[in-house]
Amino acid sequence: MNLAKLTLMTPGPVEVHPRVLKAQAAPVASHRSESFRELYREVTEMLKQVYIGRGLVALVSGSGTTAVDSMVWSLIEPGEEVLAVSNGVFGDRLASSARRRGAKVHVLRKPEGQPIDAGEVAEVLDELKPSAVLAVHNETSTGYAARNLRQIAARAREAGALVLVDSVSGLGGEPLEADSWMLDAVASASHKCIAAPPGVSFVYLGERALEKLQRRESTTPPSLDLKLSAEYSRRRETPFTPPVTLLYALREALKMLLEDGLEARWRAHLEKAKEVYEAAARAEASPIPPPEYRSATVAAIHLKAPRAKEVIEEVRKAGYLIAPGMGELREQAVRVGLMGATTMPQVRELAHHLEKAIKLHCSR
């Protein structure tokens, strides 16, 4: 069995449209050429439409983790007090990156997938007065969408903190408006809702983030330095060799996204999520987060019995690859990625097999 031919419905990487895959096969342009500068312009302008922001988009060569690290290491100084809010693995990783940076990290930690209340965040902010708040827009490990991120960001702003957001699995699939929500930096990547291959990621930088980059005194690894990226962006270049063919693919994927329309994409993800959540409910399995926080891009289903492996194997026989839970939920949950170039008929078929598999393996 050729495993590469399984339809990817994992939380990333995702199915990529043939139009996007083929775009990679164009000859490599020099990153110091006019044609590259046009590519840079197109990609970053389209990304600004997806971020809904007028700031600067820095392209990062690497995974979503590279983008998150570059955001944290470029915008936080060692010794700074920061607040990380977390209810899952990626919130913890955000905190870990800041801790490794040498920041004094306070964590407001909720159980896996349980809501982080904006009022509670405000209380901690009043007490701590941190220089930055780190939050996850869409927690990939538990399928939690921080639908109150706007409120959390507003409170952080009032308290004088920068708002740094990991939206790796959210951007393009869950509503997010960088400027009107007052998010200062938002890290994301190519291989989730944008539906391009993995390997290129990006950080949105608002005005206050750009100012902080200017003031920063401590050093970062050159390859993660967004201050350098911001300087090079004036001439539409990256400081170091970028993944040119992946940028061709990203350009094509962004064109397809904007052809559909950003709001239509948000709706399409919601509709896909509905199919999966309803199928799970018919099998008497529940998403991990409460209803109003259930992600439209990653469905994480809590199983009544620790049979994630069996459920995944059953679904795999039907041609779909889904993922287990993360951390303590590894055996007790399955995660279905609703991102990428899968169609509604595919999602319906997957939902059907998922329901059957849960009934088969997890009935009391």
Binding site for a second copy (CB under 8 A): 2-6, 8, 10, 12-16, 18, 21-22, 24-35, 61-66, 68-69, 72-73, 93, 96-97, 99-101, 189, 191, 197-200, 219-224, 239-246, 249, 321, 323
Amino acid, single-letter form, for residue 17: H
Rounded least distance, CB 158 to a second copy, Å: 30
Residue closer to a second copy (CB basis): 5 or 215: 5
Residue closer to a second copy (CB basis): 31 or 294: 31
List the one residue out of 337, 341, 339 whose CA is nearest residue 354: 337
Residue closer to a second copy (CB basis): 2 or 214: 2
Structural contact between residues 168 and 16, judged by C-beta atoms closer than 8 angstroms: no
Rounded least distance, CB 218 to a second copy, Å: 9
Rounded least distance, CB 125 to a second copy, Å: 26
| The residue to which tokens 């209340």 are assigned | 117
Residue closer to a second copy (CB basis): 2 or 291: 2
Rounded least distance, CB 200 to a second copy, Å: 7
Distance, in Å, from the CA atom of 96 to the CA atom of 264, rounded to the nearest integer, reads: 35
Residue closer to a second copy (CB basis): 284 or 310: 310
Rounded least distance, CB 134 to a second copy, Å: 14
In the 8-state DSSP scheme, what is residue 341? S
Name every residue whose Cβ is closer than 8 Å to that of residue 301 and which is 6 or more positions away in sequence. 143, 276, 280, 285, 286, 287, 288, 333, 334, 335, 336, 354, 358
Residue closer to a second copy (CB basis): 214 or 219: 219
Residue closer to a second copy (CB basis): 133 or 322: 322
List the one residue out of 322, 301, 326 whose CA is nearest residue 312: 322
Distance, in Å, from the CA atom of 86 to the CA atom of 246, rounded to the nearest integer, reads: 31
- Cα separations (Å) of 324 from 63, 244, 246, 290? 21, 33, 28, 19
> How much is the CA Rg of the chain, to the nearest whole Å?
20
Rounded least distance, CB 258 to a second copy, Å: 22
Measured in degrees and rounded to the nearest 5, phi and psi for residue 327 equal 60, -130
Rounded least distance, CB 341 to a second copy, Å: 10
| The residue to which tokens 């598999």 are assigned | 357
